[in-house]
Chain A
Amino acid sequence: MSETGYEYRVVRGFAFSALFWLVIGLVVGLWIAFEMFNPALNLTPWLSFGRLRVVHTNGLGLGFGLAGIFATSYYILQRLTRAPLAFPKLALAHLYLFNAAIALAALSLFMGMNTTREYAELEWPLDVGVVILWVMYAINVFGTLLKRQEKQMYISLWYIIAMTVTIAVLYIVNNLAVPVTLFKSYSLYAGANDANVEWWYGHNIVGFIFTVPVLAMFYYFLPKATGLPIYSHRLSIISFWALIFAYLWTGAHHLMLTPLPEWIQTVAIAFSIFLIAPSWGSVVNGYYTLQGNWDQMRSNYLVKFFILGITFYGLQTLQGPLQGLRTLNAFFHYTDWVVGHVHMGTMGWVAMVISASFYYMIPRITGNELHSIKLANMHFWLILGGQLTWTITMWIGGIQQGAMWKATNPDGSLMYNFLDSVTSLYPYYRLRFAAGLVYFIGILIFVYNLVMTVRKRPVEA
């Protein structure tokens, strides 16, 4: 606990948990990226692509993403309420249980206990654990908010509240299942309904883990790092309510042209297009905050991360609705284009903003200066270059694959068999692996920089 009474051990604990799971998740990612062009790496059942892919997505989404959210939101909560965490011991228990749960989750997925619900693959006992962890977190969020010293709640707190409420609804509804044994259950829903529930969840888990809390970080840390107030409070109000309202209607754009009733698909398209507005509300708010102070892009190493991050968010939220349109979806869906799309959001927007938030936060909670701004800059350029090469490669690969699937001869027969479309992607897969390696080196520098920062002796006050 610091001299102000704020609970920072748990912030630090979650921050380094996030970094740990980030490295693990990326190693698994590199492994499966290699398997895509060289299946010889499927050495054992535990290392086969089908099992490893979910270790990658869960490790990064739940391990890195959630730990990063818990670290920053425990920090933001205390700063914005001017009150220490309501239940610091509960928060520490949350930290230890969280890491135990993620480790068990990884183990269970390696063993093939997998419900196949994308981003909700964990079997039911672990689902129960996740819900308990979430309740522990929510108690601290609302407990701290109720005893706050600052009357008004700043924008970031709205996003944290919305996430806390929505994730609970999404996770519980989507994971309802009938257990057969301790390690096996069947979904409560069947067929098209199951698909509809799952993609309502799948899309909104991206919204309320990779968007809403990351916006909370953006709205808090950008003004803090630059000393500039957010451009428009009114715009942030409109963006917030429109975003959380519209998001929940859009899940079915993942199910375009499937046997799901057409009206659900069409409603999803309409709301996806609508979502561009609140998404860009935040993008515009971010850009205009820097109005007249764009020199900070050069002079303040943190600003680059935030501005590039929000730029990728802006591109992501344009690309998403466009590829949800039926005609474009018919071409792009099921190809690597979508894989590229997802990774622009995660490797670009999410990782950039969490990186900058940690760079701002860790020195302040430890009383140490950042080990090296030079290394932070190197980290920035490596993850930017790595991510851009990664995603652009996948977009091109996706276009090629989509085109090959659709190509016909003059007599109307198919021009390529499926395997042709797979093998033609191997050069892209090799380049993607190389780009992932560059990105990974950037992340290792990030981790090293923060480890060195906390290992320094505190600066004399």
Chain B
Amino acid sequence: MGIYSKPVVFAVLSAVVILIGTIVTVFIPLFMPSTQPVSPLIKPYTAIELEGRDLYIREGCNNCHTQTVRPLRTEVLRYGEYSKPEEFAYDRPFLWGSRRTGPDLNRIGGKYPDSWHYRHMQSPQGMFEKSNMPPYGWLAENPLDTRYSIKKISVLGYGYSAAEVERQIADYRAKVTAADYDSKETRDQVTPEKLRGDLTEMDAMIAYLQKLGRDVKNLEATK
């Protein structure tokens, strides 16, 4: 046969063959709004939540934790309402994961108080003796880098102005450093003294975890 002695024709033909499935199952869905619906009830991440999300990405948390609750009875029992496509409209990248060495986190927001997370991140084994989660206490020793927050928000198109981003950062700093912050005692325990008045990476990580799944309740309420 001819094509087996014509490398360029063969390469072009191979490209056509691999592109058919690609176009149907990947490229066309990109242009169908039903693939990734958007709901006004699902809010984009604030600057602090986004910084926390970037830390989640940096530390590769997705290697052990998924963020999709499947529509299965025991899964809904364990984690809560199953995941809806609208929830992920602002996720770039998506963080659904592929392995549950640890539990799913799509419904972790609001499940525990901040103090629980400070204590758990500091020492998972202190809370659950046999847990195999790595300790992340050192996140509280790193001040949060917000130099690129405004640029990040603008690249992602979340629609906050620079002033709003700065206010979000200032508001969150005020919240966690306030004398009446409900998790103050635990935060002070895990945060080195010189950083207690400032935002740390741990603060942002917890802000992100507390956001996960919070808006789905609004979505459910309308159904």
User: Which chain A residues have a beta carbon within 8 Å of chain B's beta carbons?
Assistant: 35-39, 42, 45, 48-51, 53-54, 112-118, 142, 145-146, 148, 151-153, 157-158, 161-162, 164-166, 169, 173, 178, 180-181, 184, 186-198, 200, 241, 244-252, 254-255, 257-261, 264, 267-268, 271, 330, 334-336, 338-339, 405-408, 413-414, 418-419, 422-423, 426
CB pair B131–A264 under 8 Å, yes or no, is no
Q: Told that A49-B60, A115-B93 touch, could you supply 18 new A-B pairs with CB distance under 8 A?
A: A45-B59, A50-B134, A53-B63, A112-B58, A158-B14, A186-B92, A189-B92, A191-B36, A191-B92, A195-B88, A197-B26, A197-B30, A249-B25, A258-B83, A259-B83, A414-B77, A418-B102, A422-B101
Q: A153-B4, A259-B68, A334-B66 are in contact. Are A53 and B92 (CB under 8 A)?
A: no
Which of B100, B130, B151 sits near A419, CB closer than 8 Å?
Answer: B130
Q: A192-B36, A194-B91, A406-B74 are in contact. Are A335 and B20 (CB under 8 A)?
A: no
CB pair A169–B93 under 8 Å, yes or no, is no
Q: What DSSP secondary structure best describes chain A's contact surface?
A: helix
| Residues on B with beta carbons closer than 8 Å to the beta carbon of A249 | 21, 24-25
Inter-chain CA distance A260–B32, complex, in Å, is 12
CB pair B7–A145 under 8 Å, yes or no, is yes
Inter-chain CA distance A367–B11, complex, in Å, is 34
Q: Least Cβ distance of A406 to chain B in Å?
A: 5
CB pair A114–B57 under 8 Å, yes or no, is yes
Inter-chain CA distance A45–B63, complex, in Å, is 15
CB pair A114–B58 under 8 Å, yes or no, is yes
CB pair A191–B85 under 8 Å, yes or no, is yes
Q: A112-B58, A146-B7 are in contact. Are A117 and B35 (CB under 8 A)?
A: no
Which of B22, B34, B60 sits near A261, CB closer than 8 Å?
Answer: B34
Inter-chain CA distance A51–B131, complex, in Å, is 18
Q: Least Cβ distance of A104 to chain B in Å?
A: 17
CB pair B134–A194 under 8 Å, yes or no, is no
Q: Does B71 reach chain A (CB closer than 8 Å)?
A: yes
Inter-chain CA distance A257–B106, complex, in Å, is 14
CB pair A190–B36 under 8 Å, yes or no, is yes
| Residues on B with beta carbons closer than 8 Å to the beta carbon of A158 | 4, 10, 14
CB pair B18–A245 under 8 Å, yes or no, is yes
Inter-chain CA distance A255–B29, complex, in Å, is 15
* Contacting residues of chain B (1-51) with chain A, CB-CB under 8 angstroms: 4-5, 7-8, 10-11, 14-15, 17-22, 24-26, 29-30, 34-36
Task: Give the most central of B5, B63, B77, B131: most A CB within 10 Å.
Answer: B63
Inter-chain CA distance A198–B95, complex, in Å, is 11
| Residues on B with beta carbons closer than 8 Å to the beta carbon of A258 | 68, 70, 83, 96
